[in-house]
Structure 1
Amino acid sequence: MSTYENYVAQFGQFKKIDAFAYLDYLKSHQDEPRKHGKVVLVTADTPLKASRGEGKTTTSIALIDALRSRGIDAAAVLRQPSMGITAAGSKGGASGGGKASLTHPELVDWGLCGEMAAIAAAQNLLVSFAEKAIDDGSLDTIAVPRVSETPSRSLRRIRVDEGKNDVSERVVLTPTCELMQIVVLSRSMQEIGTRVSDMVAGEKDGKPVRFGEFIDLWRITNILTEAVKPAYTETMQGSPVYVHCGPFANVSIGIPSLVSVELACARHDVVIVEAGYGTDAGAQKWLDIAAREYGAQWPSAAIVVTRASTWRDNPDLRWRYPFHVHRLESLGIPAFPLINLWDGEDGQIPDLRRQASELEFREPIMGNLFRDGGEALVNQLDGFVEALRGDGASAVPETHKGMDILEDVRWIADSAYGVPAERVVMRDGFSESLEAACALCRSLGHDLNDYAVVAVKSPATMTDDDTAPEGSRSVTLKKVEVHAGAGLVQVNLTSSLTTPMPKIV
């Protein structure tokens, strides 16, 4: 048995990998054989409808199948989907489709990797501890929300009436919660415990109270024992796939856990990392949070997925796809446009190639991946493979920690959405929300500007109105929310909901 197999255990029809322990072993045994895989980010155009998606998971699966057929040791790291918001698989879940599918898509789509339920149980237990602290007189208010994987309008704001202890609570989707963010960003169980300890439970006499001040953290970390382990599965063609975590990139960070990517990089030469929604969402957060602030690997290349209908059918929105591709190229990341064709669109290929050439894209990669899987890509990857054999990625940009939060948000709007600083506006109440967040951090002994910024936005738009002329597009800031345990500050902008209702598509 190899050393690696000592850290792998059967979990139903999956395998679970103790990534924390395995990576610790590799750090302490420098002579142990390992790989240093290059990261490729699979991102997408901003979808016309948030409920549809462009096919990132299907692309990720087809891509590793194609690379492996060319003799390259490639693997994918996917996000665990949320069962509720995709209406129990009606959107297609997050396991690909057709020939570009996982061996057990129903298990991934229905949450049987396990971490979603365990994280929900742990976060809701934290809320229960906070309620008990109110009974005991240790808290006056509760700051941390309950979670559910299935959204409900009636639960967005609730009030628990217990006479003198009349407590306001709320419910958000499990993938968006602070505890999920903590699991995504942490490299050890000890770090998770420290971060949970720093989560703000609520207030007492106007001052914030952390969970570490009144609960035993082992109660939470024990619940997460299996949830912190990435699941291992395969494509229908036998290619390796790791699945772990899955916060939405519009209302959270939308990336797989950092340890799942590090694990895959230690095992494979090329690691395809899927980031949520479009380049303005998940890719922005991989680059600006995971890589810049948390030391994740800067991508050696990117695949930017679109559908022909998203890219071309609405003249007012055609600017978005070229913006995404050229932005990644401007960061030194070779960005390969991939057009995921639907049935009946094969005849559009010559026209799509012409338009891609006019836009000065790299040679586009095209195919009906649902129908043909990796076979559609094998002969189109010469330029992509050559880029991977290059001398490496650009240097990771310097940290923004310490930058004024408004300047940071304006920088994100400019670089990720194409909106200059002077057209970033503040809605009534935003300044008060920002000052309250600053006061909270001061009470905790921290500086709000030291937290990484998470833009909470609509998944289907980049600005207040993407159909507006370029010179008048704006971004409106709505409110600020501190996630002290995760080390993040969330800034709501444009039209954003933390508990959107499912779409039946």
Structure 2
Amino acid sequence: MTYKSDIEIARAAVKKPIAEIGAKLGIDNSHLLPFGHDKAKISEEFIKSLEGKKDGKLILVTAINPTPAGEGKTTTTVGLGDGLNKIGKNATICIREPSLGPCFGMKGGAAGGGYAQVVPMEDINLHFTGDFHAITSAHNLLSAMLDNHVYWGNEEQIDIRRITWRRVIDMNDRALRSIVASLGGVANGYPREAGFDITVASEIMAILCLANDLEDLQKRLGGIIVAYRRDKTPVYCRDIKADGAMTVLLQQAMQPNLVQTLENNPAFIHGGPFANIAHGCNSVIATKTALKLADYVVTEAGFGADLGAEKFFDIKCRKAGLEPSAVVIVATIRALKMNGGVAKDALGNEDVDALVRGCANLGRHIENIQKFGVPAVVAINHFVSDTDAEVQAIKDYARSVGAEAILCQHWEKGSEGTIELANRIVEIAESGESNFKPLYEDDLPLLGKIEKIAKDIYRADKVVIDKKIENQLREWEAAGYGNLPVCMAKTQYSFSTDPNLRGAPTGHAIPVREVRLSAGAGFVVAVCGDIMTMPGLPRKPSAEAIHLDANGEIQGLF
């Protein structure tokens, strides 16, 4: 049987005007800032008018550790949102905006797949409404003002050896990881080591995704630590008077984006921090707005549950006061067989024994979600090569560890393929089974928080950390930052820091290479193993296949 590609399906979609999608949620057209006919931003005035309204139920979609075989977390999020609408519920989805880096690198687009997509797919995966460009501009404005401040007399007595603020670009470019800036003589400033991160790793991306409104945004921007003086006291963004102009650049970017699924159901796409080097969730303002407008809000957290779900619970929910009602853990038979030792080119062959071995990865994630007190269901994202015996094996395994697995065929059938999952999620959400609690308390020391995640979620035996880094954590605690959550920057492919160690490893160590204080965002980043905040392109990047055809249509994007 021949299947249409994702982009062919997306182009064949019969989209409704964005005003009609807004009307489904009770948003008057006057409160939509349209970007063409099929996407719009929601006004700040309208969002403020929702205060006091009752919240709907929040459903998190997470997954097993990603593999080259694919898991389909975004596709499942879209499919479940459509499924909930199909059974008569007022539901919407909240997902992240894709970064250009992965789109042109190796991951490809991130707007769902098959008959469970958000549209317009090409726009969403490229410039969309310009949010990432605004974040890049605001970030680099601060960089420019920081260097300018030093050039014109350095009133704040910044030690240029201790400038911590790097520049960003929304592209994978290893050549920019470490650079020397301000070469060329006196007129160009003071030469120093510098570098670039990818935009989705910017603290400003994290701030935009955690801020409640523009006032909160500016306060958080002002709290960014950009450098230190010779006496090691911090220099903040507000000290060099950049926070006001940065807020101006981000004013429109703070407004959530409204689009639609293939089945014309509303979808919020806003913000996009990476989950391995940032906190991996869409914006708080989009999620909170959706909860005021819909009875069910389905959102996702990046990569596997060891990263995305943990950060969703311990950072986003903690900071925003959110309480999820249920969790969906996405798994594919192909990915679990790969976790069980099957090579990628043999994944189409039935292998129940390898599948059961690989289910250890799924079981570890189920156990971890249970630590947060939220009931979880496994969604088996169906592939045509899956056999009945393999599907049954996952269901049996899930039952053996106190969970439930449901076959989902949304990629092929859209909402029809998630009706069973949607009905079960409604049962769980309405039962009030969830008793959500974060993994650790605010007053646990920073190193204790890192160790708690490493041992309870990653199942590491120990954390390997240099005495100098320990002292840095203690200094931040003494400065009043000890109550912040931690954001672990780690490979997404394994519970360990070795991307090749699949399954459910134990007995490993988590090496913490450095720690970074994101004082504006409100968390401490622990950089573990070889993870980088500026990815590089692979040997054959996706960009090589992306082009315009004779009809002026984009090919190769997804």
Give the superposition deviation at 1:276: 0.5
- Counterpart amino acid of 1:473? H
- What CA deviation, in whole Å up to 9, does each residue of 1:2-22 have, x standing for no partner? 67554322123311013x433
2:509 is aligned to 474
2:286 equivalent in structure 1: 260
Q: TM-score, normalised by structure 2?
A: 0.82
- 2:469 aligns with one of 429, 433, 437: 433
- Note the 1:376-455 alignment, pairs <5 A: 376-391=417-432, 393-397=434-438, 400-420=441-461, 423-426=462-465, 430-436=466-472, 438-439=474-475, 446-455=479-488
- Shift in Å at residue 346 of structure 1? 4.5
Indicate conservation of the 8 Å contact 2:212/2:285, yes or no. Answer: yes
Decide whether aligned partners of structure 1 residues 3 and 238 sit closer, same or farther in structure 2, where only a CA change above 3 A counts. closer
1:120 corresponds, among 103, 126, 136, to 136
> For residue 153 of structure 1, what is the aligned residue in structure 2?
174
Alignment of 1:289-438 (within 5 A): 289-292=315-318, 294-315=319-340, 318-357=359-398, 359-391=400-432, 393-397=434-438, 400-420=441-461, 423-426=462-465, 430-436=466-472, 438=474
Q: CA deviation at 1:255?
A: 0.2
- SS of the residue 1:377 aligns to: helix
Q: Once the 2 structures are TM-superposed, how far is the Cα of residue 389 of structure 1 from its aligned partner?
A: 1.4
SS at match of 2:535: coil
SS at match of 2:306: helix
Instruction: Answer with 455-464 or 306-315: which moved more.
Output: 306-315
Q: Are 1:214 and 2:240 an aligned pair?
A: yes
* Matched position secondary structure for 1:433: helix
In the alignment, is residue 243 of structure 1 matched against residue 269 of structure 2? Answer: yes
Pair 203,350 (structure 1): closer, same or farther in 2 beyond 3 Å: closer
Pairing partner for 1:56 from 73, 79, 82: 73
Q: Which amino acid aligns with 1:112?
A: F
State the secondary structure of the residue aligned to 1:447: helix
- 2: CA distance, partners of 1:464 / 1:309: 23
Instruction: Report the residue type matching 2:164 in the other structure.
Output: A
Q: Is the 8 A contact 1:80 1:111 kept in 2?
A: no
Instruction: Tell me which amino acid in the other structure corresponds to 1:251.
Output: I
Q: CA RMSD in A?
A: 2.4
Match of 2:91 in 1: 74
Separation in 1, partners of 2:417, 2:72: 14
Counterpart CA distance in 2 for 1:459 and 1:353 is 22
1:173 partnered with 2:198: yes
| 8 Å Cα contact 2:372/2:439 also seen in 1 | no
CA distance in 2, matches of 1:387, 1:212: 46
Tell me which residue corresponds to 2:299.
273
The change in CA–CA distance for 1:379 and 1:400 in structure 2 (over 3 A counts) is: closer
> Using the alignment, how far apart are the partners of 1:263 and 1:201 within structure 2?
32
SS of match in other structure, 1:481: strand
Q: Is the 8 A contact 1:82 1:111 kept in 2?
A: no
Deviation at 1:84, TM superposition (A): 1.4
- Report the alpha carbon displacement of residue 495 of structure 1 after superposing the two structures with TM: 3.1
Q: Is the 8 A contact 1:134 1:140 kept in 2?
A: no
Does structure 1 residue 483 correspond to structure 2 residue 509? Answer: no
Question: Per the alignment, in what secondary structure is the counterpart of residue 454 of structure 1?
Answer: strand
The alpha carbon displacement at 1:182 in A equals 0.7
**Secondary structure at the residue paired with 1:383?**
helix
Structure 1 position 490, deviation (Å): 0.5
Give the whole-Å Cα distance in 2 for the aligned partners of 1:406 and 1:282. Answer: 20
User: Distance in 1 between the 2:265 and 2:221 partners?
Assistant: 35
Partner residue of 2:103? 86
What TM-score, normalized to structure 1? 0.90
Long gaps (5+) in structure 1: none
Contact 1:434 1:480 in 2 (8 A): no
Deviation at 1:218, TM superposition (A): 2.2
Task: For 1:7 and 1:450, locate their aligned partners in 2 and report how far apart those are by CA, in whole Å.
Answer: 38
User: Aligned to 2:102, what secondary structure does the other structure show?
Assistant: coil
Identify which range, 145-154 or 494-503, moves more after superposition.
494-503
Is residue 280–residue 311 contact of structure 2 (8 Å, CA) maintained in 1?
yes
Q: Tell me how far 1:225 sits from its aligned partner.
A: 1.2
**1:240–1:35: structure 2 CA closer, same or farther, 3 Å change rule?**
farther
- Equivalent position amino acid for 1:447 in 2: G
Aligned 8 A contact 2:63 2:329 in 1: yes
Q: Following TM superposition, by how much is the alpha carbon of 1:283 offset from its aligned partner in structure 2, in angstroms?
A: 0.6
Task: Report the equivalent of 2:50.
Answer: 26
Q: Is the 8 A contact 1:64 1:76 kept in 2?
A: yes
Secondary structure of the equivalent of 1:140? strand
Which letter does structure 2 place at the counterpart of 1:221? T
Task: Give the CA deviation at 1:467.
Answer: 5.0
2:211 corresponds in structure 1 to 186
Deviation for aligned residue 1:377: 1.6
- TM-superposed CA distance for 1:26, in Å, is 2.8
Partner of 1:101: 117
Q: Which runs of 5+ in 2 are unaligned?
A: 1-22, 342-357, 543-558
Which amino acid counterpart does residue 415 of structure 2 have in structure 1? G
Please tell me whether the aligned partners of residues 372 and 436 of structure 2 are also in contact (alpha carbons under 8 angstroms).
no
Q: Which amino acid aligns with 1:193?
A: Q
Decide whether the 8 Å contact of 2:225 with 2:519 is kept in 1.
Answer: yes
Say if 1:78 and 1:244, in contact at 8 Å, map to a contact too. yes
Quick one: distance in 2 between partners of 1:202 and 1:38? 42
Q: Is this contact kept in 1: 2:339–2:502, CA < 8 A?
A: no
d(CA) in 2 for partners of 1:396, 1:471: 25
Measure how far apart 1:181 and its partner are: 0.8
Work out the CA distance in 2 between the residues paired with 1:250 and 1:398: 18
Per-residue CA deviation, residues 386-428 of structure 1 (Å, 9 max, x unaligned), is: 11211253143486333211111111112221224xx2222xx
Give the AA of the match of 2:393.
L
Give yes or no for the alignment of 1:40 onto 2:59: yes
**Aligned pair 1:461/2:461, yes or no?**
no
Task: Mark the CA change 1:120 to 1:281 in structure 2 (over 3 Å): closer, same or farther.
Answer: same
Q: Against the structure 1 CA distance between its residues 279 and 3, is the aligned structure 2 distance closer, same or farther, given a 3 Å change threshold? A: closer
| Identity across the alignment (%) | 26
* CA displacement 1:331-384 (0-9 Å, x = unmatched): 321211111122322545544345435533533122343222221121454332
> Closer, same or farther in 2 for the Cα pair 1:306/1:398, shift >3 Å?
closer
Matched residue SS, 1:107: helix
C-alpha contact 1:437 1:482 (8 A) present in aligned 2: no
Number of aligned positions between the proteins: 487
Give the Cα–Cα distance (whole angstroms) in 1 for the partners of residues 384 and 245 of structure 2.
Answer: 51
Looking at structure 2, the residues matched to 206 and 315 of structure 1 have their Cα atoms a distance apart, in angstroms, of 54
Q: Deviations over 1:468-504 (max 9, x none)?
A: 9855222222211111111211001133111122454
**C-alpha distance 441-100 of structure 1, shift in aligned 2 (>3 A):** same
Q: Do the aligned residues in 1 keep the contact of 2:118 with 2:259 (CA within 8 Å)? A: yes
Structure-2 separation of matches of 1:301 and 1:468: 24
Secondary structure of 1:280 counterpart: coil
